[in-house]
Structure 1
């Protein structure tokens, strides 16, 4: 029972969840236990993303989970957060797929697309039949997307005028698997968004290999060489960086939850190991230094989960602000990484094998700490909020 002596839920956070939220969490936890945990070590070692999971995740109802209509699940922000936590307890790469598909690509179409674009793409993306990606970051424009050099210029005149896309993107999750790419490019009117179907001439997506992190996921270099698009490719309501940033905030919110899943899984692996491993004739967990490590890990997991839940309640009430998301993303990923590393020390030499998850989680969290805003970016967002002074340039 949560909150009972011996439980890791010392604060009894489960009491803050409704029956519907608890049921959803258990459903996703069961999926993680049955489909991800038995296979993740081999997926990670072989550096493959299991494409077959996409329709299963669609059936689970976690793709575009927070969106309504067009075949999307229409669940609450808290429910989406709980799903992200449970999936990342399996692996950051699997949660990242759900985030790229739903929080980035589907959100861009849902929020900024035309009715025709929504009808064409969203139902099949929600079902996992089609995969999308979100192409914003460039080789020389990571933290500063306003400096992007990918361009889209008008091709022709009048209402039938299309576009020609040129440039390059980097670290684009799922690009080589995607059926449609949401691409952000500079135009004469500023930054605009475009839907580029896979296989369009001039589009090349190349997986970035080898990687030491996020190995059960796919990130790519993408180039656009004279890619011709029709007028229907433009996301009509997306104008300026406000559009992609709105999608990034959705992803950052999910990360605040997901990181706590990686931390919890690392902690639980260390706790189980420490209670069963004998050294000097007693369990490792019986030593003061080990107990201090376990307690420090648990404190941060409880605090981070409570923070994520608070954000979820704010989001469901329509009151969540970008600087609050930055605080949670900065804190929770930073602390989850510290937890995973500390958990590995309890496992000793065994901790460097894929038989145990903490070092895999730590490696993945190095990527999570970087994408959707580095520590430095979120620090400056918060610095601007508390001082009123812009320090990015």
Structure 2
């Protein structure tokens, strides 16, 4: 525990099972990821071996039930996302891509055979998945996708390109969304299929310990049983995005907590003008405001989590959480950086790494603008897209 945890006392609002999930996630993140994350960020290195540890801990697809998945509560899942992102956004992203996107797509829309074949191995981390939706010229408009899947005998041929696909060069399978004559459909595509090409985007200044790729489908042929039979249309892909957004609502507060912790610690250890930095009123004001926004973000995440558990959560409410919590996490990181002075731009502190990563989180799963327009539409009944 630390001053932030003690002052907030979130555990008073949590069940023993939820606290256990959070504690185990924090232990894993601090023992396995934290000691190597600065070097991995610097070297653009993704540690595939940690995936199996996440699987052994039950964190992959943990909010799903059956098929080897843990069946944890929504809040437990959120708390795990919080702890992984407190170390680095890239590892919360992995949990999101594997569990909230790839596994959720199969769990919700796959056949029983597909669920039995893939989900148990994905839950252990033995099989890694990715989620291929975004296209180079589509961005925030997935309905503009041009990737196609055309029937070819008893199978399908997929042609097109995707961009910013997390884990694609590491994954064993891809959930690919493509336009068909019947509408947009999802497919389970082995990444070793002929014509599947994933190229890591090497110029990133953010999420450097993670992997995002450009993907090409050069007449990739898959069998008929690769089709996800449960739904036709873009709504299926968007529902998976909402699962991932839920994890973001919690995760970014972990990054915010890490930055706030660094600022509080530094303000008590560093002396300026003959006294601790934290003894100055302006410094205390900044720390207090950072803490208040962190606490508000956590309470918002908890409220959204309880709604999800009750089955009453709406996409618009998820947009409130994603818009607010990412925005406030970035503001907290920025203020923390200023309190750390020149040292704040070094890798001696995690703040600049979190700031860079949070800019990616702000962009994916819906930009600030998109979530603002979602809420504007909900308030007025008028679409401004």
Q: 2:31 matched to 1:34?
A: yes
In structure 2, distance between residues paired with 1:220 and 1:34: 28
In structure 2, distance between residues paired with 1:73 and 1:357: 31
Q: What SS does the corresponding residue of 1:237 show, helix, strand or coil?
A: coil
In structure 1, distance between residues paired with 2:8 and 2:330: 22
Give 1:72's aligned residue. Answer: 69
Aligned counterpart in structure 2 of residue 308 of structure 1, from 291, 301, 307: 301
Q: 2:259 matched to 1:266?
A: yes
CA contact (8 A) 2:86 2:251 kept: yes
CA apart distance, 1:293: 1.1
CA contact (8 A) 2:4 2:261 kept: no
In structure 1, distance between residues paired with 2:293 and 2:200: 35
Give 2:366's aligned residue. Answer: 373
Deviations 1:184-215 (A, max 9, x none): 00001110000110110011000001211000
Q: What SS does the corresponding residue of 2:170 show, helix, strand or coil?
A: coil
Superposed counterparts of 1:232-247, under 5 Å: 232-247=225-240
Cα RMSD, aligned residues only: 1.0
Q: What SS does the corresponding residue of 2:163 show, helix, strand or coil?
A: strand
Q: 1:123 to 1:8 in 2, by over 3 A?
A: closer
Give 1:337's aligned residue. Answer: 330
Give 1:48's aligned residue. Answer: 45
Aligned counterpart in structure 1 of residue 78 of structure 2, from 81, 98, 104: 81
CA apart distance, 1:21: 1.1
CA contact (8 A) 1:8 1:298 kept: no
In structure 2, distance between residues paired with 1:236 and 1:23: 37
In structure 1, distance between residues paired with 2:122 and 2:75: 21
CA apart distance, 1:8: 4.8
CA contact (8 A) 1:9 1:302 kept: no
Deviations 1:108-160 (A, max 9, x none): 0000001111111100100011100000000001100000000001112xxxx
Q: What SS does the corresponding residue of 1:238 show, helix, strand or coil?
A: coil
Superposed counterparts of 1:186-201, under 5 Å: 186-201=179-194
In structure 1, distance between residues paired with 2:371 and 2:194: 37
Aligned counterpart in structure 1 of residue 136 of structure 2, from 130, 136, 139: 139
Aligned counterpart in structure 1 of residue 103 of structure 2, from 103, 106, 113: 106
Q: What SS does the corresponding residue of 1:39 show, helix, strand or coil?
A: helix
In structure 2, distance between residues paired with 1:170 and 1:177: 15
In structure 1, distance between residues paired with 2:281 and 2:352: 23
Q: 2:120 matched to 1:120?
A: no
Q: What SS does the corresponding residue of 1:376 show, helix, strand or coil?
A: helix
CA contact (8 A) 1:152 1:187 kept: yes
CA contact (8 A) 2:187 2:227 kept: yes
CA contact (8 A) 2:168 2:215 kept: yes
CA contact (8 A) 1:89 1:265 kept: yes
Per the normalisation by structure 1, the TM-score is: 0.96
In structure 2, distance between residues paired with 1:265 and 1:327: 22
Aligned counterpart in structure 2 of residue 165 of structure 1, from 132, 135, 158: 158
Q: 2:319 matched to 1:322?
A: no
Q: Which runs of 5+ in 2 are unaligned?
A: none
Give 2:357's aligned residue. Answer: 364
Deviations 1:349-379 (A, max 9, x none): 1111111011110100000000000001101
Superposed counterparts of 1:268-307, under 5 Å: 268-307=261-300
In structure 1, distance between residues paired with 2:326 and 2:119: 30
Alignment: residue pair count: 385
Q: Which runs of 5+ in 1 are unaligned?
A: none
CA apart distance, 1:12: 3.0
Per the normalisation by structure 2, the TM-score is: 0.98
CA contact (8 A) 2:84 2:92 kept: yes
Q: What SS does the corresponding residue of 2:347 show, helix, strand or coil?
A: coil
Aligned counterpart in structure 2 of residue 13 of structure 1, from 6, 10, 21: 10
Aligned counterpart in structure 1 of residue 127 of structure 2, from 119, 126, 130: 130
